[in-house]
Structure 1
Amino acid sequence: MDFLVLLVHGSLLWAVIYAILCCIAVILFWELFSPLHAFPGPPAARFTNIWRAMVTASGHVDQANIKWHRTYGSAVRVGPNTISINDPELIRTIYATKNPWPKSDMYRTNDVLINGVRLSNLFNTQDNHWHDTYMNPIRSLWTMTKVLDMESLIDETLNKFTAKMDVKFADVEHNCMMDEWLGYFAWDVMANISFGKHYGFIDEERDVENLIADSTKGLYYFAPISQIPWLDCLLDKNLIKRIGPKPTLTGVNYAIDVVTTYHQALGSGSGRVEHYLDKYVKLKEAHPKIMDDNQVVNYLMLNILAGGDTTSSTMRAVVYYLSKNTSAYQKLISELDAANFSLPAKWRDIRKLTYLDAVVQEALRINPGIAMILERVVPQSGFTLPDGRFIPGGTAIGINPAVTNRNVDVFGQDADHFNPDRWLKKDEENEEEFRDRCRKMKDVASFVFGGGNRVCMGRNLAILEIYKLFATLYSLFDIKLVNNDHSWKYHNAWFVYQYNIPMTVSRRVKT
């Protein structure tokens, strides 16, 4: 009997050993014969995407990407079939306007599942032809000229915001959690220009209907799961029991309600405001084959979910870094006082303010609102890097704006530090040298809005909104961290969310 037990146990032991040896053999075979063998990277990332998913879930994958490139070089293998690139010169190639490389499967996690049907949107679709077909009708609506038609609507929200800052914080000297309030402002601006009314965040001083919270939960899910996209089929997109947050679902439902209410208001003879919902509905006449209420919802969903988070991320960076940099703060205040414009600030009066521009450009650079690898798929013919290494077709490849924005060849040896002066002309530069250097920096830093045919359509609105806010806000108030040694907390979940920014707000006394 004892002999039989030993025999069974021995067989099990050898079976385990055999299984382990087989796994090692498969791993070694994959390592030795993988077409990406020549690309260095974190050891675990060569065999599994679990590693980068875990790093992404930590909320600081941008810092990890920067570290990996400084350790391993210009092309880093971050997954079995994924390469991260840090060469700014390749932005126009990977994110081309003509014959664009398709988005990778990572974006499919952002699909929404409604009544068992999986629906893509303009942000995440991998079909470039479908994207262009549905983008073409609205491209002209997002030029700076057309966005400026909305300036009065931005002013309405800006007046609400500054009035609340005045009464709630400057009058009673309460600390302001600026991270929350800038989110309220950015989301209410987007609501007002999208469908002519505010969500009510500023008025009610809270996250109405949990729109911000639900959006944030959706991105906290999207970021790590997008690194192993097939997991989404088992979690959010399974038809039996859906697990986890519902990416984009809250935004879709809100957009559906808005469109329904809009049509009811028209039927009752309510007045019409020239906001984006109104513009989108009018497109049904010009493009009847592709435009219906479902497509209007698709357009509005991007307004609702993307416009608030990315813009507020940059806004938080501006107030935080200015509070940390007394010199930059004083230079901005001096420029605003000298300009002596009416409030709320108008674009025509502030668009050529050089230091305001420098502050905003530097905030976008040092703290990009999107700070993960924007993955694309290499064409079947493959792609040869400038150093001669070949990447086969079908490989996922991409650039993280947080990485290229710290490139010392483009931005200087202090690229890791907030320094708006880098955007100003140096004493030793002539005008042509300054223009060339500044153009190169802007070409790279503007990648925070994406590139090629998939560039963010709301970038002009974001710039307008941010410039107007800070020209107005810093003309009226002194805004400083409660404790200048305080450090914020942030979580990178595709969009960068910063937290815990307590600030004092006091009325300015101009000298």
Structure 2
Amino acid sequence: MDYSPTSSPGLDTYVPHLQKWSKVFLTLMLATGLFKLIEFLCRVIYRLCLSPLRKFPGPWLAATSNAWEVYHSLKNDRFRVIHDLHEKHGNVVRIGPNHVSVASPEAFHYVFVTKCSSFLKTDFYATIQPGIGPRYAGLFNYIDHKQAMSERRDLQPMFSPGSLKQYEAKYDEQLDILIKVIKQRGKVNIFELFKFFMLDVIGDLALNESFGQVASGEEHQYVTDFNNAFMLIGLQTMFAPIIPLIPYLPFKKLKDAYYGLQRVFSYSQQRVENYLKMDVSKKQGSLMSGFLDPTTGDPKEGYSAWSIALAGHGFIVAGSEATSITLTYVIWALIKHPDVDHRLRSELSSLGESYSNTDLANLPYLDAVIRETLRVYPPAPAPMPRAVPKTGFEFEGVSYPPKESHML
């Protein structure tokens, strides 16, 4: 068979067309690239020179794109850098094209308490998802205020004085183990031990089974996966589209986080499913009981084993890390301030040998120590962005334009 060019004369007729379409394609690519470049430059000029937020001080890169915020989030120094900006420029600084950070207790109270229904959560919260399974909407990531209030009403009974009393038995059991371990070891890493302790407590309350870390001195696989997954949860707020592609990427840490997150939620769901199979009389004394019909023991309308598992995981995130960090700082601060330690011990001694949680809650100096620790050493220096309402917002002589700015 002859494969010489003369055997296929028809190919010659396509060459000019291929050359022509190649030029057209190249022209379109160049035109698209030029258009995107012009669009980008126009956006940069607008954000630097014409945006209503141009009056607020801050890094010029932060004003032009989200790259500045992404960079410092990945470096894990975002909260320190923003603190330094406030030290340099004052209460209001610009940290993004549409973001300003406000360091004013009065403004915080106005936005998050007085007018909280007017300042809605931004889309930042909607991106916080497990990354696997059905999308989840709960108290933390609801954007709509009415939905959040409805969910809060469902959860309120779980934290009533009567419900908290039901949880005391589980808490006291874990506390006895903690005290025993401290006495046995004599010298301990209190941060690690408090972290194990709070995870054991919240795990028992939220998933009906303690992780047993304080007694064993070893980190449970759930906790290992949970810690690894934090990287993924942080990334998906900014790079949500790449999450499903992680198994195909050559990054071991990301893969470990991805599969670890799957194991975390699979474990949580299995614990909830086992809990749902228990007799109704045995389902009390757990945070999960608040999601169940008290008569039948089945999930209330709108809840499933999956949503309860995710809510339980949310309790673990909120209740373990922040509390263990605060406990560590309380002990550290008391050691650094012996006068405060002495006064607190005197107040606690006034209770005698037998006392209740209510008695502890009524101690003013203990309350002051805890509040001051939370003020000086906040355990969760994370953003809580709120969108400025359509009518705009003016406070302390500063005007914030509608739709253009998100307050952090």
TM-score, reference length from structure 1: 0.64
User: Partner of 2:131: helix, strand, or coil?
Assistant: strand
Residue of structure 1 in register with 2:129 after alignment: 111
Residue equivalent to 1:60: 77
User: Is 1:324 equivalent to 2:336 in the alignment?
Assistant: yes
CA contact (8 A) 2:91 2:102 kept: yes
Q: 2:363 aligns with which of 337, 353, 362?
A: 353
Secondary structure in 2 matching 1:83: strand
Question: C-alpha displacement at 1:257, in angstroms?
Answer: 0.9
Cα distance in structure 2, aligned partners of 1:68 and 1:125: 30
The structure 2 residue matched to 1:158, chosen from 171, 175, 195, is 175
How far off is 1:193 after superposition?
2.4
More strand by share: 1
The 1-side partners of 2:46 and 2:370 are apart by: 50
State how far apart, in whole Å, the 1-side matches of 2:382 and 2:73 are.
Answer: 9
Query: Relative to structure 1, is the Cα distance of residues 204 and 253 closer, same or farther in structure 2, using a 3 angstrom cutoff?
Result: same
> Residue 99 of structure 1 corresponds to which residue in structure 2?
117
SS at match of 1:105: coil
Distance 1:112 1:283, change over 3 A: farther
Taking the aligned partners of 1:254 and 1:40, their CA distance within structure 2 comes to 47
Query: Whose radius of gyration is greater, 1 or 2?
Result: 2
Structure 2 spans left out of the alignment, 5+ residues:
1-30
Give CA-to-partner distance per residue, 1:293-316, whole Å, 9 cap, x none: 333224322223221111111111
- 1:162: Cα distance to partner? 0.5
Structure 1 equivalent of residue 158 of structure 2: 141
Matches within 5 A, 1:474-493: none
Task: Determine if contact 2:392/2:399 at 8 Å carries over to the other structure.
Answer: no
Indicate conservation of the 8 Å contact 2:118/2:389, yes or no.
no
Q: Which residue, 213, 229, 239 being the options, matches 2:224?
A: 213
- What is the deviation of 1:63? 2.4
Partner of 1:182: 194
Corresponding residue of 1:397: 407
Matches within 5 A, 1:311-390: 311-342=323-354, 346-390=356-400
Matched, 1:258 2:271: yes
Alpha carbons of 1:390 and 1:113: their partners in 2 closer, same or farther (altered >3 Å)?
closer
User: Residue type matched to 1:331 in 2?
Assistant: R
AA matched with 2:124: M
Determine if contact 1:188/1:202 at 8 Å carries over to the other structure: yes
Q: Is the 8 A contact 2:63 2:94 kept in 1?
A: yes
CA deviations on 1:14-73 (whole Å, 9 max, x unpaired) are x9xx99996666533431111211111122211122212222333333322222112122
Three-state SS of the structure 1 residue aligned to 2:55 is: coil
Which amino acid counterpart does residue 193 of structure 1 have in structure 2?
L
User: Kindly, what percent of the aligned residue pairs are identical?
Assistant: 21
> 1:197-208 residue pairs with structure 2 within 5 A?
197-208=209-220
Structure-1 separation of matches of 2:107 and 2:117? 15
Structure 1: gaps spanning 5 or more residues: 1-14, 399-511
CA–CA separation in structure 2 for the residues paired with 1:134 and 1:19: 46
**Distance between the aligned counterparts of 1:28 and 1:249, measured in 2?**
43
**SS of aligned partner of 1:316:** helix
3-state DSSP of counterpart to 1:389: strand
- How far the C-alpha of 1:348 sits from its partner, in A, is 3.2
| Counterparts of 1:130 and 1:239, CA distance in 2 | 32
Give the letter for the 2:194 counterpart.
Answer: L
TM-score, normalised on structure 2?
A: 0.79
Higher relative contact order (CA 8 A, sep 6+): 1
Deviations 1:159-214 (A, max 9, x none): 111011111x22xxxx31111100011111112223443111112211111x3333
